[in-house]
Amino acid sequence: MQARDTAVLSRSQSSIARVVLIFLSVLFLATFLIVPVVSVLGYAFSQGLAVYLEALRAPDTLAAIRLTLTTAAIVVPVNTIFGVAAAWAIAKFDFRGKQFLITLIDLPFSVSPVIAGLVFVLLFGAQGWFGPFFRDQGIQIVYALPGIVLATMLVTFPYVARELIPIMQMQGREAEEAAVSLGAGGWMTFFRVTLPSIRWGLLYGVILCNARAMGEFGAVAVVSGHIRGLTTTMPLQAQVLYDEYDLVGAFAVASLLMLLALLTLIVKTVVEAFGARRRRA
Amino acid sequence: MATARGWVSPSVLPGFGMTLGFAGLFLTFIVLIPMAALIIRASSLPLDEFWRIATEPRALASYRLTFGASLIAASLNAVFGFIIAWTLVRYRFPGRRLVDAIIDLPFALPTAVSGIALATVFAPNGWIGALLEPFGIQVAYTWTGVVVALTLIGLPFVVRSVQPALEEVDVSLEEAAESLGASRSMVFRRVILPTVLPSLATGFTLALARAVGEYGSVIFIAGNLPLRTEITPLLIVIKLEQYDYLGAAALGLVMLCVSFVMLLSINALNGWRIRRVAGRR
C-alpha cells in the first residue's frame, strides 16, 4: 500500500494535470456546495446577531422547532427498532424472499418524497380510503401530526437498516452462534455480542436518520397543509418565511438545519476514523 | 422450529420470527399498503382518462424538464464526480480530507436549505448570480436553475461510487501498459475506465433516480412557470392542492413506474459491478 502510494505520487505530483484537476474539483465544489452553504450563514447574520436571535424567537418559528423535535422523537426510535430488526433478520439468517425485502427497504431512495406524501393523502385524506372512518372517530391524520409522522417515517426508515446490514453481514454469525451455544439468551447475545461491534455504525445510522427526519421537506409539504404555528415543521417554516421575503427569518431557520447537517457529517467522519483504526488493529 | 419452515435455512440463532415479523409488518403498513393505495386509486381511472391526464401538455412539458434536467445533472455529476474522485484518490493536497468530508453534505443537508440557498445565491443580485449577470447568464427561475439544484443533490452518489473502484485500480497494470509504450490516454481508456465503468454507471443511475424525484431543492430556484419550469413532482402537489386526487394519483403512478425501472437498473448495474470485481480475482 505504502509503496503503491509512493509510486503513484512520484509520477503524478508534478504534472500539470494534477493542478488542473484539483482546480476543477475545488471550483465545482465551491460553486455547487461551499458558496451556497456559506451563504446560509451570510444571509442569516446579515442584520447582526440580535436580529438573528429575534427571528428564531418568533412564536411560529418556535412552534415549528417544537413540531420538528416531536416528529423526530417519534420517527427516529421506531425507525431504529425497524432497522436493527431488519438487519438482524437479513444478516443473520438465510431465507427465501430476502432480496425482495432488501429491495423494499431501498424503495424510498428512488421514490420521490412527493409520492411518499401523496400515498398517505390517498389513504387518509378527505376522499381517501380510511379518511371518513378516522374523521368519524374524531382523529385527524392528514394535515396533522400523525400524517407528518407517517410521511417522515416512509422517507427515512431505510437509513438505519442500510447502515447496519453491510456491517452485520461482514461480521458473520460465528460470534453470536458461539454465545448462543454457550447458553446466552437472544437478548443477551444481542446486547453483549452484536451491539458492541455495530455501535458506531448504529450511531451514524441513527444520526443520519434523525437529520433526514428533521429536514424532510417534500413528503411533509404534501401532508402538512401548511397551517402556520400548527403543522409547519422547520423546513416548511423556512419556506413560508422565504415566500414572505423574510430572508433573515428563513435563513435563521435554515442555519439551524444546516448546523444539524454539519454535526451529522462530523459524527460520520469520527465514526469512519474509528472503523478504519479497528480494521488496521 | 425454524427448520420446519422450509423456506429458511436452519440456524441456532434466535429471533428470526420476531425480527422478520416486525420488519415485515412495518414494511406492510408503511410501504406496501400506501403504495398499493396509489396503484389501485390510479387504476380506478378508465384507461383513456388516465392517458389523457398523463399526456396533457402541462404534464408532458414537466416530464421533459424533469428528465432532461436530471439527465444533464447526472451527466455533469458523472464527469465532475469522476474528476473529484480521481483527485481524492490519486493526489495529496492541503485540504484533501476536508474536501473528502464535505462531499457527503448533500446527503445530510435538508433539501429546503439547499433550495433557498441556491435560489438566493444564483438570483441576479445573489453572490454568484451577480457574477454571471454581466455575461447575460440567468440561472435562477430558469431551466438552468433546475439543473444546478439537481447537480448539487446528486453529487455524492457518483463520487462515493467511483472512489472505492479507483482505489482498486492496479497501478502496476498502468505502469506495465506505459512501459510497453501505451500513451496516457490509452492507459485511461484501456486500463482505468474498464475497471471503473460499472461503478460510474451505478453512481450515474443513483444520481439520476434521486434527481427525477427531487422536489425541495428545485422548487425555490425553478420559478415554477407552467409548461416552462414546472417539474412533475410539483405538478402532483398542485393537483393535490386543487383536491384533484385522481389526477395526482395518475401522475404519481407514472413517477412510481419510473422509480421501479430505476431501481431495477441500479440492481442490475450492481450485479455487473460485483461480477466484474469477482471476475478479476
Contact predicate A86/B19, CB 8 Å: yes
First to last CA, chain B: 39
Region at A246 (left for phi over 0; alpha for psi -120 to 50; beta for the rest): beta
**Do A164 and A95 lie in a common domain?**
yes
Mean pLDDT of chain A: 90
Question: Would you state the pLDDT for residue A86?
Answer: 96
Residue A104 C-alpha from the chain's centroid: 18
- Please name the member of A93, A211, A236 whose beta carbon is closest to the beta carbon of B8: A93
**Do A34 and A162 lie in a common domain?**
no
Range among A133-142, B81-90, B256-265 rated most confident: B81-90
**Do A39 and A60 lie in a common domain?**
no
Q: Provide mean pLDDT across the span B80-98.
A: 92
Q: B-chain residues within 8 Å CB-CB of A4?
A: 171-172
Is A236–B112 a contact, with Cβ atoms under 8 angstroms apart? Answer: yes
Q: Provide mean pLDDT across the span A157-173.
A: 93
Mean pLDDT of chain B: 90
Question: Would you state the pLDDT for residue A279?
Answer: 64
* Domain end position, chosen among A28, A44, A60: A44
Is B105–A85 a contact, with Cβ atoms under 8 angstroms apart? Answer: no
| Contact A221/B at CB under 8 A | yes
Is A257–B113 a contact, with Cβ atoms under 8 angstroms apart? Answer: yes
Among A137, A90, A26, smallest CA distance to B98 is for A26
Nearest-by-CA chain B residue for A33? B152
Q: B-chain residues within 8 Å CB-CB of A236?
A: 112
| Contact A113/B at CB under 8 A | yes
Contact predicate B248/A127, CB 8 Å: no
| Contact B256/A at CB under 8 A | yes
Is A28–B34 a contact, with Cβ atoms under 8 angstroms apart? Answer: no
**Do A128 and A69 lie in a common domain?**
yes
Q: Report which of residues B148 and B95 the model is more confident about.
A: B148
Task: Write the CB contacts of B127 (distance below 8 Å, at least 6 apart in sequence).
Answer: A35, A39, A42, B121
pTM over 0.95: no
Burial of A99 (0-12, 13-18, 19+ CB in 10 A): exposed
Question: Would you state the pLDDT for residue B4?
Answer: 52
Cell 382523529 belongs to residue: A139
Among B6, B37, B13, smallest CA distance to A116 is for B37
**Do A37 and A86 lie in a common domain?**
no
At B89, is the pLDDT very low, low, confident or very high (cuts 50, 70, 90)? very high
Contact predicate B65/B229, CB 8 Å: yes
DSSP-assigned letters across all residues of B94-147: TTHHHHHHHTTHHHHS-HHHHHHHHHHHSSTTSTTHHHHGGGT---TTSHHHHH
Is B101–A221 a contact, with Cβ atoms under 8 angstroms apart? Answer: no
Q: Is the pLDDT of residue A93 over 50?
A: yes
At B279, is the pLDDT very low, low, confident or very high (cuts 50, 70, 90)? low
Q: In chain B, pLDDT over 70 holds for what percent of residues? A: 96
Q: Report which of residues A109 and B82 the model is more confident about.
A: B82
**Do A253 and A126 lie in a common domain?**
yes
Is B213–A105 a contact, with Cβ atoms under 8 angstroms apart? Answer: no
Q: Provide mean pLDDT across the span A93-107.
A: 91
List of long-range contacts for A197-203, beta carbons under 8 Å, 24+ apart: A197/A167, A197/A171, A198/A164, A198/A167, A198/A168, A198/A171, A200/A271, A200/A274, A200/A275, A201/A163, A201/A164, A201/A167, A201/A271, A201/A275, A202/A80, A202/A84, A202/A160, A202/A163, A202/A164, A203/A267, A203/A271
Contact predicate B207/B73, CB 8 Å: yes
CA distance B16 to B23: 11
Q: A-chain residues within 8 Å CB-CB of B259?
A: 107, 110-112, 115
CATH (domain of A226): 1.10.3720.10
| Contact B19/A at CB under 8 A | yes
Q: How far is CA A27 from CA A24, A32, A140, B210, in A?
A: 5, 9, 49, 23
**Do A109 and A244 lie in a common domain?**
yes
**Do A12 and A61 lie in a common domain?**
no
Q: Is the pLDDT of residue B150 over 60?
A: yes
**Do A237 and A119 lie in a common domain?**
yes
Question: Which one of B25, B30, B187 makes the best mutation probe of the A interface by having the most chain A beta carbons within 10 Å?
Answer: B30
**Do A22 and A125 lie in a common domain?**
no
Q: Give residue A37's domain range.
A: 1-44
Question: Would you state the pLDDT for residue B2?
Answer: 44
Region at A183 (left for phi over 0; alpha for psi -120 to 50; beta for the rest): left
Question: Would you state the pLDDT for residue A272?
Answer: 83
Which sign, positive or negative, has the C-alpha torsion A29, A214, A227, A254?
A: negative
Q: B-chain residues within 8 Å CB-CB of A122?
A: 34, 37-38, 41, 245, 249
Number of domains in chain A: 2
Which sign, positive or negative, has the C-alpha torsion A193, A197, A199, A205?
A: negative
In tens, the pLDDT along B258-277 reads: 988 988 888 888 888 888 77
Burial of A7 (0-12, 13-18, 19+ CB in 10 A): middle
Q: Provide mean pLDDT across the span B114-123.
A: 94
Q: Provide mean pLDDT across the span B25-30.
A: 95
| Contact B269/A at CB under 8 A | no
Chain B from 91 to 150: CB within 8 A of any A CB:
91-93, 99, 101-121, 126-128, 148
Contact predicate B153/B106, CB 8 Å: yes
**Do A30 and A58 lie in a common domain?**
no
In the beta sheet, which residues pair with residue A95? B8
Nearest-by-CA chain B residue for A226? B241
Question: Which one of A106, A114, A270 makes the best mutation probe of the B interface by having the most chain B beta carbons within 10 Å?
Answer: A114
In tens, the pLDDT along A6-44 reads: 445 445 545 888 889 999 999 999 998 999 999 999 999
- Please name the member of A118, A157, A239 whose beta carbon is closest to the beta carbon of B252: A118
Is B117–A212 a contact, with Cβ atoms under 8 angstroms apart? Answer: no
Q: Is the pLDDT of residue A70 over 90?
A: yes
Contact predicate B106/B114, CB 8 Å: yes
Question: Would you state the pLDDT for residue A14?
Answer: 57
Contact predicate A247/A225, CB 8 Å: no
Which sign, positive or negative, has the C-alpha torsion A199, A202, A204, A206?
A: negative
At B207, is the pLDDT very low, low, confident or very high (cuts 50, 70, 90)? very high
Cell of A229: 404555528
Contact predicate A84/A185, CB 8 Å: no
Question: Would you state the pLDDT for residue B73?
Answer: 97
**Do A208 and A263 lie in a common domain?**
yes
Contacts across the A-B interface (CB distance below 8 Å): 304
At B3, is the pLDDT very low, low, confident or very high (cuts 50, 70, 90)? very low
Chain A from 185 to 204: CB within 8 A of any B CB:
185-186, 189-190
Q: How far is CA B55 from CA A100, A161, B236, B242, in A?
A: 32, 38, 14, 19
Q: Provide mean pLDDT across the span A215-224.
A: 94
Q: Is the pLDDT of residue A103 over 70?
A: yes
ipTM of the complex: 0.89
